[in-house]
Structure formats: C-alpha cells, structure tokens
A and B are shown apart, each in its own frame.
Chain A
Amino acid sequence: MLKYIITRLALTIPTLFGLAVFDFLLLYLTPGGPTGVIIQSFRSTGTPISPVVIAELQKEYGLNVPAPVQFARWIFNAIQGNLGNSYFSHEPVTSLILARLQVTLVLAISATLIALAIAIPLGVAAAVRRNSLVDYVGTAVSLVGISMPTFWLGFLLIDFLALTLHAFPAVGYASPFTLNGLRYLILPALTLSFSTLAIISRVLRASMVEALGEDYILTARSKGLKERIVVYRHALRNALLPTLTLLGLYFGSNLGGVVTIEYTFHYLGLGDLAVSAMLSRDYPLIEGFVLYTGVVFVFANAIVDIFYSIIDPRIRLR
C-alpha cells in the first residue's frame, strides 16, 4: 500500500515538471514573445521605447540569456514561491494567489457539500422508487444539469432568488469567513454545485440499483429488518464508495467551472483574479494561476487514485 502511494506521488513529479515547462513556454505563444509582452506593458506607462531601452529591459527581466537558463532561473524562483510581481498591482503573485485560493476553496467545498446534500437523497429515492416521478425528475435534472452553461444557471438564480425573492444579494463579495459573507457565498455555491449534483445523483442511483439487487440485501430483508435500515445502512453504505471517488474527480474539474461562476457573480476568488489578469494581459499573474491550478489539480487526481486503491486493491496491480 505504502509502495503504491509513494509510486503514485512520485509520478506527479514529471507531470508537474512538464506543466512548469508548458507554463514557461506560454509567453512564447504571444505575438512578439516575452520581449513583446514587456514592451507592451511599458507602452501603457507612456515611457518612450528605443532599441537601447529594449535591450536594457531584456537585461532587467533576464531575457538576454538563452531560454533554458531563463527556465532554470524561473523554476528555481518558483519553487521558492517567488513568481514575480503583477504588472498592475505590483504585488507579489504568490501572495495575491494564495489569498484568493482560500476563497475559491471555500466556494468549491461548499458547492460539493450542497451537491452531496441534494444528490444523496435524490439518488437513493430514484433508485428505491424506480420509474416513479422522483426518478423521472432526477433524470431530467441531471440531463439538463450537464447540458446547461453554468454561468447561465447563475443568471437564472440571480433573477429568481435575488431580484425576485430578494433572498440573497445578486452579486458581490464579502469574506466567506464572516456571517455576512455567507450570504454572498450561497448563490455562486448553489450554481457551482449543479453540474456535480447532476452527475453524482445519476451515478449514485446506478450503484444503488446494483447494490439493492445484491444477495446481502435479500438476506437483510429476510431477517426482517426495516426497509429504511436496509436501504440506508446496507445498500447506501456500499453504493457510496464509488460515488465519493467520482466526487473527487469532479472536485478537480470544478476548478474550471469556478472561473466562469466567479466572473458571473463578481465573487473575488482565484477565478475572478485569473479572468481579470487574462483580460488585462497580466502575464506573471496568469502564469502563477496556471501553476497553482495545475498543482492543485494534479494532486487532487493523485489523491483520488490513492483513495481508490484503498477501497479497491485490484487497481494497485496495474
């Protein structure tokens, strides 16, 4: 077991290195390359630019050395947490990102909890009463849920819950660690939870249907146990494990959904920071965002694999 965990974690090293190379090379995709980017950021300050100034700038930003050396310096700094300063706020990228990452994690975790709180009863009810109204509603919700652009769902919720019912503030942000902040958290979290909810409830329904057909359920029933206990204690416990594993995977890809949702709700998380960095071409900040998201995503996937290998030892043999 320990051997598998170490191997799986060791496998993230080449992946993360590759991600770092990709991140470093991104600047070369832009028209004009890294130098062009710097020139552009200076043009906005109104400083006149001559070839001499360009050469000086290149020297200042370490662009006068070969690319591999630049990469080595960049990654050396990155490991120490130094990703440079934002072009605009001139604050260190790392501290900007870490502050926002907290907020985004709170949002993602709340969304996951909401999804579970709705998906588990829905999935169980659909499996217990197959082809009933609950089941059809569940199917419809999940089909619509995976086909809906999340930000549009955000507009619908703003319209209904904020502008019509005045239950929550429509958009905006207050620190989610305060009571007032929770009011701002609910709408984006609800929106983000929907696609996870859609998938989890379907998967749970399928594994519940399977679990309810097993022999041990028959045994439990023939012992005269109450149906509630059979369903919740015996079937659900076995059906939940595969579902939770899947949840881990969706938690990772929720990081993608976070971007559009934070933008929709003007919610000041990492996604909102990233979009404004992208719209204003704040490259150090974008590169930092790529690196941090990648690290979180890669580790989330590794943890899911490890978790999976604990509940299903066959996977280790691979």
Chain B
Amino acid sequence: MSNEAPILEVRNLQMYFPLETGLWSRIAGSKRVVKALDGVNLSVMEGETLGVVGESGCGKSTLARCIVRMYEPTGGEVLYRGKNVLKFGPKEMKEYRRKVQMIFQDPYSSLDPRTTIRNMLSEVLHLHRITSSKQQLEEKMEGLMISVGLDPAQLGRFPHEFSGGQRQRLCVARALAVEPELIIADESVSALDVSIQAQTLNLFEELQKKLGLTMVFISHDLSVVEHISTRVAVMYLGKAVEVSESTELFEDPEHPYTQALISAVPVPDPDVKTNEIILKGDVPTAANIPPGCRFHPRCQSAMPVCSEVEPVLLESRKDHLVACHLIHPVEAPPKPVAPQQVK
C-alpha cells in the first residue's frame, strides 16, 4: 500500500436491512435481515479511479448509497480525509455534500422534468454560494455546459428535450457545479447505448484528468471497469474479495471468483480459445449468506476449511489484497493489512 493517506476509506461497513417490516414481525420479534453489506473494507486514493465490480445484488449500489449517507449504515465507518462521515452534524454534512457527488444510472429519472437546466444549475450554484454576481453565474453555467460537451444555448431547455446521453452529461454538469473532489458513478453508463457509453466514459476520463477528480466507478460490466479504472475492487455478496491495481487484476487475478468473472468476458477474436470457468449454482441471496467463505458453494477449488473459516482480506503481493484460503492458508497466522483494522 502506498503511504499517502486515502481520501476516502470504508472500514468494516455493514448495512443490514430488516427483511420483514410488517406489524406481525414486530409483534413476533422477527430479526431476519438482508446483509447487503457485510463488513466492507476499501480505500480510495486521491486522484485515482477505483472500479467496483460484482454481480447484481452484491451490494455495489448499497455501498455507494452508504458512502453518501443516503442510507445510514448499521455498522462500521466511512472516513473522508480521516473524519468519520457518519458522525457529521448538519454543518459538516453540507460541506461534505459539496465534496462528494454522485451520478446515477438512469439519466431519465435523475433530472427534474419540471425544471429548466438553467434553474437547476443556478439553484445549486446559489445554494453553495459558488458564484457571487449575475455575470459570474452565467459564465459558470456556460462553462459547465461546455465542459460536458453541450451547447450553452440549450440552458433554457427542459430535460425532456435532451437525449439519454445528453442527459447523463447534464447530470455530470450538475455534479461538477459544486466543484467536488470525489465523484461516485453508480452504473452511470449502464443504461446508455454502447456507442454513447464510450463517449461518456471518455468524458469521465477527460474531466478526471483535467479537474484532478477522484472517482469511484461502480459497474457490473468488467470491460467498462477495465477501461476506466486505475484500481479495481471485486465484490461478492456484500464483501470485497479482491482489490488490486487494474492491469494486474485483469491479467493475473488471484481469487477464484475474480478468475471466473474475467474468464466470462467475451474476447472479440474467434481464434482465441477461452477457458471460461462456469460457476456452479446461483448467487445465494444476501438474506442467507453461506458460512465460512461466502463463495465456497460455487468455488471450483473449495477446501473443507472454506465452509468453516471466513477468509480475511489480506495483502498477497504489494498493493494486491485478496480474501481466499488458497492464497493465505488458514494455518498461517493472519497478518492484518493496516494497523487501524484491528480493534
């Protein structure tokens, strides 16, 4: 691990949703929960793009929502520049809102259909007192439109007058209006056509370089994540199972789950023989997580110990973390990754 302090750190984050909310379960005292996040540890370095991949239902989106405090996590910590976000008061929270922004999946529902783009942007700029004069406001809004590749003359329009790709650009413009340090993109290109996806990804990359942004890029699509990320975290059933530098992860994955995911990516060359690893069974639900290693029922190389002892996310090489008994035999005393993870 590098020595700089991370901009964002997630420690042992837990998000349990009650499964039954009805009157009956309150009377009967049912305690069944869905463990959407079950002890996630991750850190995001300044200026990097961290890709988060996993199948649907693995808790990627819940992670995003916990980081921005749309959900109140049931356990663990979210540290922003070393301060626990979950303990922020209203004033610090407002400051945090400026620093961290999110881009959503569906560009059609993420813009208010009854507000013009001008009103949308000017309200945001006004709220955080980013511009002080009318002229400055107008210049800033035009600048935002240009920076996301849209015509400033269209500021007076309503969202329905734009296409899907253009709307996603508008969402980016809105997020950039508060001059954030960290942007969380939650499946932000998944709803777009493939050709538009590439354009939008390029826009993200370019903006990131130009503005020195840090990004967390969440997607189920490995090729998208490979394209944009500097580092990648693989999630499975509410936990990070492998975290590594992007090229290394895609070329030499260590966790059997990561290996299976990568082997399933189609290669656009008929001559290349792929050894696709077919996973057994379905993804267990987050309401019913298997004991021991949560991946063991589907794992090709599962050992007896895998169904008993839960593996810990440990460094296997420099800056490469993996949670698997194959890599870290369970007899060896586990070495903690970072001193702060030990209580």
Contact = CB atoms under 8 A, between A and B. Distances in A.
Interface string A1-36: 001000100110000000000000000000000000
Contacts, number: 7
Contacts of A11: 23
**What does DSSP make chain A's interface, helix, strand, loop or mixed?**
helix
B23 A3 contact: no
**What does DSSP make chain B's interface, helix, strand, loop or mixed?**
helix
A281 to B, nearest CB: 40
Q: How large is the interface on A (under 10, 10 to 19, 20 to 34, 35 or more residues)?
A: under 10
Contacts of B24: 3, 7
Contacts of A318: 22
Contacts of B22: 7, 318
Nearest to A317: B22
A99 B341 CA distance: 76
Interface string B19-50: 00011100000000000000000000000000
Contacts of A10: 23
A3 B22 CA distance: 12
Contacts of A7: 22-24
B32 to A, nearest CB: 15
A7 B24 CA distance: 7
A7 B22 CA distance: 10
A75 B64 CA distance: 53
A11 B24 CA distance: 11
A10 B24 CA distance: 10
A7 B26 CA distance: 12
Nearest to A6: B24
Nearest to A316: B22
A13 to B, nearest CB: 12
B25 to A, nearest CB: 10
B29 to A, nearest CB: 15
Contacts of A3: 24
Interface in B146-200: none
A291 to B, nearest CB: 25
Nearest to B24: A7
Nearest to B28: A3
A7 B144 CA distance: 55
Interface string A194-226: 000000000000000000000000000000000
Contacts of B23: 7, 10-11
A191 B23 CA distance: 42
B24 to A, nearest CB: 6
A262 to B, nearest CB: 38
Interface string A306-318: 0000000000001
Interface in A24-57: none
Interface of A: 3, 7, 10-11, 318
Interchain residue pairs A-B with the least CB separation, the first 7: A7-B24, A7-B23, A3-B24, A11-B23, A7-B22, A10-B23, A318-B22
7 contacts: A3-B24, A7-B22, A7-B23, A7-B24, A10-B23, A11-B23, A318-B22
